[in-house]
Amino acid sequence: MSKTMPVFVYGTLLEGFMNHALYAKPYDCEVQPAKIKGEVYHLPQGYPGLLAGNDDVIGEILLFSPEVFEKAISALDELETYFGPEDSRNEYERIEISAVLVQTGEEVIAYVYRYLDAEYVKQWGTRIQDGDWRRYMLDVLAE
């Protein structure tokens, strides 16, 4: 059983995007703006990949109640193609990371899904310099 903990999201699970409506909203989670350290890339598949790094990555913390946490994290694992620690089928790994809540400056430990194939991401992805995938997508859609 996983421990209950916040989940940091930076891409299609952000509020207002389709996967938030499908995978987060059904579990009635609380959403708080947050940021972490890393590098985010837009991948050819149309979604982002996070790599380790020292830049700000803008996103949100999803807080699920203990009653629904296991179901919610299982749904997120499925979306992110995460089968468990060190499983060769994983596209992402679910790790613990330090996140900062934007409104209060409070630091929290949260799960985040980080892309495993850094070489692929750096070769084929588009680096989002300001770490804000939502803004990147809105700019792309505006073009």
Catalytic residues: 80
Listed in sequence order, the residues at least 6 apart from 126 whose beta carbon sits closer than 8 Å to its beta carbon are 41, 42
Residues 35, 39, 43, 48, Cα dihedral to 10°: -20
How many residues comprise the chain?
A: 143
CB burial of residue 1 (10 Å; 0-12, 13-18, 19+):
exposed
Amino acid at 92: Y
